[in-house]
Amino acid sequence: RLGSQTVDLTSCDREPIHIPGYVQPHGFLLVVDEASGRIVQASANAADFVRPGNGGPDQATPDQTTLNQAVLGQPLGALLEPASLEQLASARENLEGNPLHVFTAPLRGTGARFDVIAHRQGGLLLLELEPAPPQAPNPVDFYRLIKTSLAALGAAQSLTEFAQVGAREVRALSGYDRVMIYRFADDGTGQIIAEDKQDALTPFLGLHYPASDIPRQARALYVLNMLRIVGDVNYEPVPLIPTLLPTTGAPTDMSHCVLRSVSPVHVQYLQNMGVGATLTISILRGGELWGLIACHHQTPRRVGYDVRAACEFLGQVMSLQLSAKEEHEEQAYRLRLGHARARLVELMARHDDLIEGLLQSDLDLLAFLDAPGAAVCIGEEVVLLGTTPARAEVLELAGWLAEQHELADNGLIHTDALSDDFGPAQAYQREASGLLAVQVSARRQDLVMWFRPEQVQTVSWGGDPSKPVEVGSAGTGVLAGNEPRLTPRKSFEAWQQTVRGRSVPWRLSELGAAQDLRAAILSVVLRQAEQVGQLNA
Ligand code: BLA
């Protein structure tokens, strides 16, 4: 039955990952109803941790009796020392939708110390307790580590270098085997733009991944919640007891929980990849998800709150500096375009003949828009530069362009897939899949065109994007069994996707530069026309 039902990638988008009803077993969750001050829900493993002398989740079966008697229905004071309660009370105002490490302390009547992270939402106080690492790292060491990292990030010249430094510094801080900077494109696909890893591992640098690998709701959640961890991909999820909140009859919203059990689809994805544990930190830009710092370890691994906080801090620093770095690259590029335009205009102004002026230095016109071919069509004259379609083909193209509304409206037309719009262009798509044309006089056929070749786009995908899913059995979760599950593809060997008839797209700054050049040419043409008028008068 599972196989016969139609399942597509949008069902990835529908999995309600914020209400899994399960936690990961390396810690436990207590949900307190703020109105009554009582624990109304807890992860089943709470019993294993709170029993005197029992510091770990080694129980074969959850101890339901202890859970019912010592945890559920109890006030927090039954489990926490008075000093801990006081710390919680004074942090209370800062906890709304904002998980904070409030204290590290033993539970009442047990020796084991726990890191306690708390946040509030919807009238609930959620406490997440994890056994504290044996020796807390020295805060001074952390300051030193972060300080060097900050200096290195600040010194990075280009965006690529910036990302590379980010990956290296997060790896130094966290000790994971592989740290990647994953950048999203506008269409939701992603690419690994920087990587720092153990030498023996196969590099993933440069690989692209389809949008469905990180579905929409997951990307939305990662804007709210900047850090997530999978301590052991082979973990046994621990259910919340009772399944639904007695106060509302609804599942508990775990959007902000760091112990949240992750999607079983994603767990399988990681297992397929041969990954043992992950740590992922969001990189935002202007409030939107720009990318991720993704850390992999081959074996199970958890890092304590301090290391996580330090990594999250680096992620935030990267978020803040990102705009500036991107802006810087774009500006340098615009500056280069501006210089090229000024040179062209100067040459044109020195010559009576517009075409001669434009062509005086043919290299300039080609370099101007990073195009290997260009054509200038003015009156009956056609001049070809670099790699272009044949003269007759260019003339035919100019005729077609002259009829296009877009050209009439903007004086500019551009495409990165010319043959999609103009069939005959299929004959010469190797040299001219991309076209940018500007009209340079009152006559529609007076055009300057730039051509870009077909980018037999060699894209390395992390697997086969046209075959992203297989239907599998239902996983865990509140909604387990209701819907057939999709399983991620099993192959991670890079494969090449070739895109026919497409060029590298024209950048916004290039379109702007072409518009500027057009305006400059028109003003030169106008001045020359005036001079001719004066001579004739
Ligand atoms: C989540 N998928 C994720 C996350 C990453 C990826 C980084 C964030 C969660 C995390 O690991 O911390 C994808 N991980 C990658 C990629 C690389 C990597 C591309 O390391 C490259 C090296 N995934 C699928 C399909 C579905 C799917 C087909 O491939 C849906 C049917 C789902 N991915 C999916 C879901 C989540 C996810 C639901 C959210 C997990 C959660 O937070 O609960």
**Do 76 and 37 contact (CB within 8 A), yes or no?**
yes
3-state SS class at 211: helix
Kindly give the number of the ligand 1 atom that is closest to the alpha carbon of 17: 43
Which position has the token pair 């399944």?
A: 243
* Confidence grade of residue 88 (pLDDT, cut at 50, 70, 90): very high
3-state SS class at 303: coil
CA of 96 to the centre of ligand 1 (A): 27
What is the ipTM metric for this complex?
Answer: 0.97
CA of 292 to the centre of ligand 1 (A): 11
Q: What is the pLDDT of residue 530?
A: 75
> pLDDT, tens digit, for every residue of 496-511?
566 678 888 888 878 9
- What is the mean predicted confidence (pLDDT) over 228-233? 96
CA of 351 to the centre of ligand 1 (A): 60
DSSP class per residue in 126-150? EEEEEEPPSSPPPHHHHHHHHHHHH
CA of 466 to the centre of ligand 1 (A): 17
- What is the mean predicted confidence (pLDDT) over 401-412? 91
> Mean pLDDT, the chain, as a whole number?
84
> pLDDT, tens digit, for every residue of 166-188?
999 999 999 999 999 999 987 78
Distance, CA of 12 to CA of 355 (rounded, Å): 57
Percent share of the chain, pLDDT over 90: 47
Q: What is the pLDDT of residue 75?
A: 96
Mutate to test the pocket of ligand 1, among 266, 268, 270, 292 (most ligand atoms within 8 A of CB): 266
For ligand 1, atom 31, name the residue with the nearest CA: 12
Mutate to test the pocket of ligand 1, among 192, 226, 269 (most ligand atoms within 8 A of CB): 269
Distance, CA of 455 to CA of 462 (rounded, Å): 20
Among 126-130, 275-279, 291-295, 361-365, the range scoring the smallest mean pLDDT is 361-365
Q: What is the pLDDT of residue 495?
A: 47
Q: What is the pLDDT of residue 212?
A: 80
CA of 71 to the centre of ligand 1 (A): 34
CA of 488 to the centre of ligand 1 (A): 9
Phi, psi of 296 (to 5 degrees): -120, 145
* Long-range pairs for 64-71: beta carbons < 8 A, 24 or more residues apart: 64/241, 67/42, 67/241, 71/30, 71/39, 71/42, 71/46, 71/47
CA of 171 to the centre of ligand 1 (A): 20
**Do 114 and 29 contact (CB within 8 A), yes or no?**
no
**Ligand 1 residue neighbourhood (C-beta within 6 Å):** 12, 15, 17, 180, 204, 209, 212-215, 218, 228, 262-263, 265-266, 269, 278, 280, 292, 294, 462, 468-469, 486, 488
Among 166-180, 231-245, 287-301, 303-317, the range scoring the smallest mean pLDDT is 303-317
Select from 297, 320, 311 the least CA-distant residue to 198. 297
Kindly give the number of the ligand 1 atom that is closest to the alpha carbon of 9: 31
- What is the mean predicted confidence (pLDDT) over 500-528? 82
CA of 382 to the centre of ligand 1 (A): 53
**Do 523 and 348 contact (CB within 8 A), yes or no?**
no
Select from 432, 455, 414, 424 the least CA-distant residue to 374. 432
For ligand 1, atom 35, name the residue with the nearest CA: 266
CA of 268 to the centre of ligand 1 (A): 10
Tokens linked to 349: 């102004």
Tokens linked to 226: 């900047």
Q: Where are the beta strands (DSSP E) in 152-266?
A: 178-184, 190-197, 208-209, 227-230, 238-241
Comparison of pLDDT for 21 and 322, the residue scoring more: 21
Q: What is the pLDDT of residue 379?
A: 80
Q: Where are the beta strands (DSSP E) in 213-331?
A: 227-230, 238-241, 277-285, 288-297
Kindly give the number of the ligand 1 atom that is closest to the alpha carbon of 180: 22
Among 20-34, 178-192, 277-291, 392-406, the range scoring the smallest mean pLDDT is 178-192
Kindly give the number of the ligand 1 atom that is closest to the alpha carbon of 15: 38
For ligand 1, atom 32, name the residue with the nearest CA: 266
